Amino acid sequence: MLTYGCQMNEHDSEKISGMLTSIGYEETDDENNADLVIFNTCLIRENAELKFFGKLGEVKGLKRKKPDMLIAVCGCMMQKEEIRQKVLKTFSFVDIIFGTNTIHELPSLIYNAEINKKRSVDIIDNTELIYEDMPKQRKFKYKALVNITYGCDNFCTYCVVPYVRGREKSREPIDIINEVKALAEDGYKEVTLLGQNVNSYGNNLKNGITFAELLYELNKIDGIERIRFMTSHPKDLTDDLIRVIKECDKVCNHVHLPVQSGSSDVLRRMNRKYTKEHYLELVNKLKKEVPDVAITTDIIVGFPGETEEDFQETIDVIKKVKYDSAFTFLYSIREGTTAALMENQIPDEVKHERFDRLLDVLYPIVLDKNQQCIGKVYPVLVESVSKTSETFLTGRTEHFRLVHFKGSEDLIGEIVNVKITNVKTFHMEGEIE
């Protein structure tokens, strides 16, 4: 299985793996001998789309050598009619297509493709149904992804999510609480709550529970030591939520708060429903109530109509907030969105030039934030052996900073105290205390 895109897609892949394992499949890294190859696609950025089509073309040769191999494509791209038709017409070797709302139908789709030798397609544009208790084969044994909402009601003008994942719907709190309790019983130490906008959790529930109230309940669960959440929309960041971060010991002092642009005019055309001034007020409130908070963000460079003055507003926000890290993107046209039809699309060379200037401001700030950690001791959840050295381990602090340090493999999944001795822009180095 090849997964592209966000953590929501990663978690969908865990559900797909869980279903396949339950009906007798075993995961393999050897695609040449696989009986089933699945692409879980992403439509948010053009780069992920291009990677998918390139890899799908490569698989054609595998299918020719092994005709009984099943090729399945799912995820956000398949919710888009034009792209789905392109796959159906251009890639005739694809056997199964399903969408974000029909993951639970995969076993029957496989049966139809294998037994009836028919191409199987199952897409639902939107649904109010949430399927609980689906089997999951989680990627890690010590940290887990947990959906609390599906879909989105925000309709940012650059984003396809509401069109491909449907309108926002929240899971019942008891189902979330029971899932996290079960994870704690299985030895998991960290959960990350997922939603396109976690702050609006509960808006469509009859009992009216808020995201802050849900966090209070999850904080009571024995065994879980860290609670994270992604993604937090500035327009719905409440004083109650800030209070939860301050008061609940398990809720990490880390808020991912996408700004997207520092220009109020650009934010208006993005339909973000907040201004630069409002965003900075939220940041100041967060820092005042939770002085140790780490703030990360998303920034889009080159949105249609972005002027040099607009861009400088974004630079100003970066300097004022002093982000701990940021995901930075060049704006790319997504067909079907309002922004794709806007005039004054920014030339690629201007986007790239601004992008480079933005990083020249951002990276020294991130490095300085890391340098402030030297000499301090942080609890680190050990995640894996380092990719660059077998004698080093890799983990994260509650602030989501990546740390490399010497240690034995049996520490993976444990939380250890690490003293920071050296830092780079993208990671820190330390020693176990």
* Tens-place pLDDT, residues 16-37: 999 999 999 999 988 888 999 9
DSSP state of 351: H
Q: Is the pLDDT score of 306 beyond 80?
A: yes
Give the pLDDT mean for 350-375.
Answer: 98
Amino acid at 335: E
Positive or negative: CA dihedral 125, 195, 338, 328 = negative
| Nearest-angstrom CA–CA distance, 433 and 420 | 10
Name the band, by pLDDT with cuts 50, 70 and 90, for residue 335: confident
Mind listing the pLDDT tens digit for each residue in 88-142? 999 999 999 999 999 999 999 999 998 888 899 999 887 777 888 888 999 999 9
Cα–Cα distance, 95 to 80 (Å, whole number): 18
Cβ–Cβ < 8 Å for 412, 383: yes
CA distance 39 to 18: 16
Residue-wise DSSP of 297-348: EEEEE--TT--HHHHHHHHHHHHHH--SEEEEEE----TTSSGGG-S-PPPH
* DSSP label at residue 251: B
Q: Give 327's strand partners.
A: 298
What span, in angstroms and rounded, lies between the C-alpha atoms of 227 and 250? 6
Beta bridge mates, 422: 429
User: What pLDDT, in 10s, does the model give residues 223-254?
Assistant: 999 999 998 999 999 999 999 999 999 999 99
CATH value at residue 404: 2.40.50.140
pLDDT average, residue stretch 134-160: 94
Whole-angstrom Cα distance, residue 215 to residue 40?
A: 30
Between CA 428 and CA 405 the distance in angstroms is 9
Any domain includes 398? yes
> What does the angle CA 228 – CA 229 – CA 231 come to, to the nearest 5 degrees?
150
Boundary residue ending a domain (99, 122, 145): 122
**Residue 253: inside a domain, yes or no?**
no
CA angle 156, 160, 162 (to 5 degrees): 75
Q: What does the alpha-carbon distance between residue 338 and residue 313 come to, in Å, rounded to a whole number?
A: 23
**Residue where a domain stops, chosen among 88, 122, 156:** 122
Q: Distance between CA 386 and CA 107 in Å, rounded? A: 36
Output the pLDDT for position 221.
98
3-state secondary structure of 422: strand
Q: What is the pTM of this model?
A: 0.91
What tokens appear for 244 in the block?
A: 């939860």
Choose between 11 and 132: higher pLDDT.
11
Would 186 be classed as within a structural domain? no
**pLDDT higher than 90, residue 48:** no
Q: In which domain, by residue range, is 116 found?
A: 2-122
What confidence tens digit (pLDDT) does each residue in 269-281 have?
Answer: 999 999 999 999 9
Mean pLDDT of 331-360: 95
Residue 103 is assigned to a structural domain of this protein: yes
* Residues 134/142, Cβ–Cβ less than 8 Å: no
Least confident of 6-15, 116-125, 143-152, 245-254: 116-125
Out of 205-209, 229-233, 329-333, pick the least confident.
205-209
Asked, for residue 118, whether it belongs to a domain, the answer is: yes
CA distance 67 to 35: 10
Q: Which residue has the tokens 């159906």?
A: 88
How many Cβ atoms from other residues are within 10 Å of residue 21's Cβ? Answer: 14
pLDDT at 62 > cutoff 80: yes
385 band by pLDDT with thresholds 50, 70 and 90: very high
Per the domain annotation, does 329 fall within a domain?
Answer: no
Last residue of a domain, one of 67, 99, 122: 122
**Residue percentage of the chain with pLDDT more than 70:** 100
- What pLDDT is attached to residue 283? 98
The secondary element (H helix, E strand) that includes residue 361 is helix 348-371
pLDDT at residue 22 in the model: 94
Give the strands of the sheet with 143-147, arranged side by side. Answer: 143-147, 190-194, 226-230
**pLDDT, mean of residues 205-223:** 94
Distance CA 304, CA 344 (A): 5
Tokens 């789709």 locate to: 109
* Count of structural domains, the chain: 2
What CATH number has the domain bearing residue 86? 3.40.50.12160
Does the residue 427 lie in any domain?
Answer: yes
The side-by-side arrangement of strands in the sheet containing 254-256 is 254-256, 294-301, 325-330
303 part of a folded domain: no
pLDDT at 266 over 80: yes
Count other Cβ atoms within 10 Å, centred on residue 228: 21
